[in-house]
Structure 1
Amino acid sequence: MSSIAFIGLGIMGSPMACHLARAGHTVYGYNRSPQRCAALVEAGGVAAESIAEAVKGADVVAVMVPDSPDVHDVLASDGGVFAHAQPETLVIDFSSIRPDVTKELAEEARRRGLRMIDAPVSGGEAGAKNASLSIMVGATERDFAAATPILQAVGKTIVHVGPTGAGQTVKAANQLIVAGNIELLAEAITFLRAYAVDLDAAVKVLGGGLAGSAVLDQKAPKMLARNFDPGFRIELHHKDMGIVTSAAREADVVIPLGAVVAQLMASALANGDGALDHSGLLLGVERLSGRGES
């Protein structure tokens, strides 16, 4: 069992840290909002008052925060992980950030005698709660092997996809596919509703054919119930679409459908939907169609 510092106890980080504590690891959690530590303490973990306190003596430091600047601040600021972790500590970044930022931070970690891997996850809040996340890992073979017992406590599909930064690149592709699927599902549901089709029956039969997907299974019920409580917020998916469109441009790759979905995600954010689940793209389709709730 390892001593683990877990930084970032939000919608995703809290259940992940709790799984690690229940698996027998010693978990010290830190979050800028201290009340977010309550679930971890109940699961057997310890609340730390600072990053320095959390990482002191830790074998592993796990990070799950929203964006590239947040990861940079947690790791590289004066009070951050790099300044306080002991040599050979393994840093696992579960966040979804820019691949170039990951590479820069991993290089800085190496200069300080630390080891860092990128391990962004897919599966949303449900996957975090059920320990069924899909984890795409950028790492050396040695560091991937060292991280595997930790990853197995929070995920189900764990794949080493290449060197440092590769995990973030695969996650960007994942977010491109998910956003496109959610937008098309929203358009299909709005289309079906316009023709007064039995939506539950339609979704059932669509799910049994080639149109079936994890997105349809998880997001269609939310759209039909108009339940947009966040499992993964639009504002975060907007950030991810910025990552993939920027990275595609740098690689001279054309993603025309992805670019349109990125604009629709930006529109949702501009219309005040940023805190909603990304299934809330349905509201944007309804706005464009001149249709509200029916």
Structure 2
Amino acid sequence: MQKQTMHVGFIGLGIMGQAMSRNLHQAGYPVTVWNRTASRMEEATVWGAKVASSPEELAAVSDVVITMVGDTPDVRAVVEGPKGVLAGAKEGMILVDMSTISPDATRKLAERVMEKGVRMLDAPVSGGDVGAKEGTLSIMVGGEEEVLRDVMPLFEVMGKNIVHCGPIGAGQTVKACNQIMCGLNLLGMVEALAFAKKAGVDLETMIQVTTQGAAGSWALSNLAPRVIQGDLDPGFSVRFQQKDLRIVLEEADRVRLPLLGTAQVHQLLRSVQAYGKDEDGTQALITILEQLGNVKISEKD
């Protein structure tokens, strides 16, 4: 498929999806969008997207349909539900699920999708809102290499680190690994900030030194400065991080693997949710450390 003839349908226009679909349009691909909340589609028309009335209508005019929605039931609904993607899909169409959902559910969905003559990849992403806006996401791909080759030009618009991880479901499994490390890095970052503050060390100095050494992480470089400024706005929300960690822990339970650190981060973030910070960025974990340690990290009101 050539760029000028590859019509892209994009379902899910949240913080990530809006930026990803806009990048595809700006790269020259015809983009049709659908989103459960209509106002998000109105935003997309401003930058040039066409709007479909349903996933079925979107699929009927698309060579490739990308889903970027919240959770496993959401993917099932937009793909298999009434007026879903499969109702409008042509044989040979490619479905790319870039959501973060259960690896096991992905494999089962792919079986049903392929029975309809639709090819499928699972391709979850990492890199947050910044990566989505700048087109620098890491994309973890599961599925057949031939299908990946067909959509690689689209992936190269949205990301910079594109890795074929194995068969269907492998992308979601690697994303689960990513979320384990993100959660534990997040906890290490907020604990280090709390420790430094209690010990009377300048926080910006601590970050400057540690980001350049073995302790460096994405959370330390990108989220720690926000914490110091009192900025809890979401690049990636507590709600979605909790969803991802739930998927990890369910899959770990399925294979009988204990994940002690991941479970602790999940419980601490549940405490953040209990204080009504579900839609804050994951750096809001600092608020629980502040309460546990009786320490205030940011002086901002």
Give the alignment's TM-score, normalised by structure 2.
0.95
Residue 41 of structure 1 is matched in structure 2 by 45
Matched AA of 1:219: L
2:152 counterpart of 1:141: no
Q: Is the 8 A contact 1:21 1:40 kept in 2?
A: no
- Larger deviation: 251-260 or 101-110? 251-260
Instruction: Point out where structure 1 has 5 or more consecutive residues left out of the alignment.
Output: none
Pairwise CA distance, 1:265: 1.8
- Larger deviation: 253-262 or 132-141? 253-262
Q: Is the 8 A contact 1:7 1:64 kept in 2?
A: yes
Q: Secondary structure at the match of 1:91?
A: strand
Residue 268 of structure 1 is matched in structure 2 by 272
Residue 22 of structure 1 is matched in structure 2 by 26
2:57 counterpart of 1:50: no
Q: Is the 8 A contact 1:18 1:39 kept in 2?
A: no
Pairwise CA distance, 1:252: 2.3
The whole-number CA distance in structure 2 between the counterparts of 1:130 and 1:196 is 37
Match of 2:72 among 39, 64, 68: 68
Residue 254 of structure 2 is matched in structure 1 by 250
Residue 226 of structure 2 is matched in structure 1 by 222
Residue 283 of structure 2 is matched in structure 1 by 279
Residue 208 of structure 2 is matched in structure 1 by 204
Q: Report Cα offsets for 1:132-182 as digits up to 9, x if no partner.
A: 000000011111111211111101100000000000010011001001101
The whole-number CA distance in structure 2 between the counterparts of 1:269 and 1:135 is 28
Instruction: Point out where structure 2 has 5 or more consecutive residues left out of the alignment.
Output: none
The whole-number CA distance in structure 2 between the counterparts of 1:279 and 1:147 is 34
The whole-number CA distance in structure 1 between the counterparts of 2:221 and 2:41 is 31
Matched AA of 1:41: T
Q: Is the 8 A contact 2:12 2:69 kept in 1?
A: yes
2:105 counterpart of 1:105: no
In the TM superposition, structure 1's runs of 4+ consecutive aligned residues that sit over 3 Å from their partners are 291-294
Q: Secondary structure at the match of 2:261?
A: helix
Matched AA of 1:117: L
- Larger deviation: 43-52 or 234-243? 43-52
- Larger deviation: 59-68 or 39-48? 39-48
Residue 185 of structure 2 is matched in structure 1 by 181
Matched AA of 2:98: F
Q: Is the 8 A contact 2:142 2:171 kept in 1?
A: yes
The whole-number CA distance in structure 2 between the counterparts of 1:173 and 1:15 is 24
State how many pairs are aligned. Answer: 294
Match of 2:129 among 125, 130, 135: 125
Q: Report Cα offsets for 1:200-222 as digits up to 9, x if no partner.
A: 11110111111112221111111
Q: Secondary structure at the match of 1:291?
A: coil
Give percent identity, aligned residues only.
Answer: 39
The whole-number CA distance in structure 2 between the counterparts of 1:286 and 1:244 is 27
Residue 12 of structure 1 is matched in structure 2 by 16
Q: Report Cα offsets for 1:79-111 as digits up to 9, x if no partner.
A: 100111111110000100001111111111111
Match of 1:213 among 217, 222, 233: 217
RMSD: 1.2
Give the alignment's TM-score, normalised by structure 1.
0.97
Matched AA of 2:217: S
Matched AA of 1:56: A
The whole-number CA distance in structure 2 between the counterparts of 1:246 and 1:98 is 8
Pairwise CA distance, 1:39: 4.0
Residue 154 of structure 1 is matched in structure 2 by 158
Match of 1:237 among 234, 241, 254: 241
Pairwise CA distance, 1:18: 0.3
